[in-house]
């Protein structure tokens, strides 16, 4: 495929048409998200869709070095130490049409727009996290927005989509409940120690630091707030742990730093201008255009 199209390219996933009530969250689910900073499990993909996405991810993985210049980023620490660091890359949606189309799935966009309280939802970028069996790589505790301060205001949200059954046994994601209210931590290195974040917490926050294990079946998703502290341990099991992570923002998000493009290979956006264009499409609007 040749870059972002602004609309789905395939019939792989449902379209945002007709009655979308099945995708909307209940008032209790919205309240639970705002109280804890996360929500899971959410049903999303069929077993056949999971199988196909795994195969497509495998194909991207085999060609990762060749594709590297078409992706936004491949984690530099992984390139140096692949046996120690989790494989993490950004931009699979630019090289595979199923990854491209997943960002428009109403099971993704409808609940996320609802939680952000926006009538339109804008795509920010995608990520892939891949822990092979018996891989020690951790994802250090972090908050997503600490990497996104070049876009303002903070009105961002994340959906984590598991391609494998995931729990504590294979390095499943962990959330720190209510940490979305603790303020913004510094940007921490992904290739660094798991616990770097802890030294930036107050004694009260450390006392409340009780991670919750996220358990998902393949094809289910978890949603988290942009300031929620989360991370994960290595995968000692003999099963892989693969995830597609989709990041979105409110439609009024602006560029706060134009010293370089927000993402490698994308057109520069002037400081103060809306973050929009082909790489940041509106993927959901509550009312059709016109």
Give the C-alpha separation, 258 to 134, whole Å. 41
- The residue (of 155 and 232) whose beta carbon lies closer to ligand AKG is 232
Binding flag, residue 144, ligand AKG (CB under 6 A)? yes
Burial 166-193 (b: 16+ CB within 10 A, else e): bbeebbbbbbbbbbbebeebeebebbee
> Closest approach of Cβ 144 to ligand AKG, in Å?
5
Instruction: Please report, as residue ranges, which positions from 231 to 290 form the binding site for ligand AKG (by CB under 6 A).
Output: 232, 243, 245
Given the complex with ligand AKG, which of 12 and 139 has the nearer CB atom? 139
Q: What is the nearest approach in angstroms of ligand AKG to the Cβ of residue 17?
A: 28
**Structure-token match 């199988």, residue found:** 51
Residue 158 touching ligand AKG (CB under 6 A): yes
**If binding is defined by CB under 6 A, does position 221 make contact with ligand AKG?**
no
Stretch 123-142 residues interacting with ligand AKG (CB under 6 A)? 129, 139
Q: Does 143 bind ligand AKG (CB under 6 A)?
A: no
Closest CA to 284 of 155, 122, 154: 122
In the structure encoding, which two tokens stand for residue 243, read together? 């995830």
- Contacts with ligand AKG: how many residues (CB under 6 A)? 10
Please, what is the minimum distance in Å from the beta carbon of residue 176 to ligand AKG?
12
Residues that bind ligand AKG (CB under 6 A): 129, 139, 144, 158, 160, 173, 230, 232, 243, 245
């Amino acid at each position: 495929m040749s870059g972002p199209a602004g609309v789905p390219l395939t019939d792989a996933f449902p379209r945002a048409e007709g009655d979308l009530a099945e995708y909307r969250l209940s008032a209790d689910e919205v309240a639970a998200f705002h109280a804890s900073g996360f929500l899971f499990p959410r049903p999303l993909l069929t077993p056949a869709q999971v199988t196909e996405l795994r195969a497509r991810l495998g194909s991207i993985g085999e060609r990762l070095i060749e594709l590297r210049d078409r992706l936004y980023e491949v984690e530099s620490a992984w390139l140096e130490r692949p046996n120690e660091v989790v494989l993490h890359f950004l931009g699979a949606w630019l090289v595979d049409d199923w990854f491209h189309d997943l960002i428009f799935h109403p099971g993704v966009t409808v609940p996320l727009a609802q939680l952000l309280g926006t009538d339109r939802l804008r795509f920010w970028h995608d990520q892939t996290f891949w822990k092979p069996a018996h891989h020690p790589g951790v994802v250090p505790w972090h908050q997503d927005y600490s990497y996104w301060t070049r876009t303002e205001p903070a009105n961002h949200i994340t959906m984590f989509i598991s391609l494998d059954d995931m729990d504590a046994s294979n390095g499943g994601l962990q959330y720190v409940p209510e940490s979305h209210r603790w303020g913004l931590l510094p940007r921490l290195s992904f290739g660094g120690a798991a616990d770097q974040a802890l030294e930036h917490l107050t004694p009260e926050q450390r006392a409340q630091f009780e991670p919750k294990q996220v358990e998902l079946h393949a094809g289910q998703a978890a949603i988290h707030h942009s300031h929620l502290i989360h991370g994960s341990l290595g995968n000692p099991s003999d099963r892989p742990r693969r995830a597609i992570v989709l990041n979105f923002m409110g439609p009024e998000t602006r560029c706060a730093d134009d010293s370089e493009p927000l993402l490698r290979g994308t057109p520069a956006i002037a400081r103060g201008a809306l973050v929009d264009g082909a790489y940041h499409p509106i993927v959901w609007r509550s009312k059709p255009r016109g």
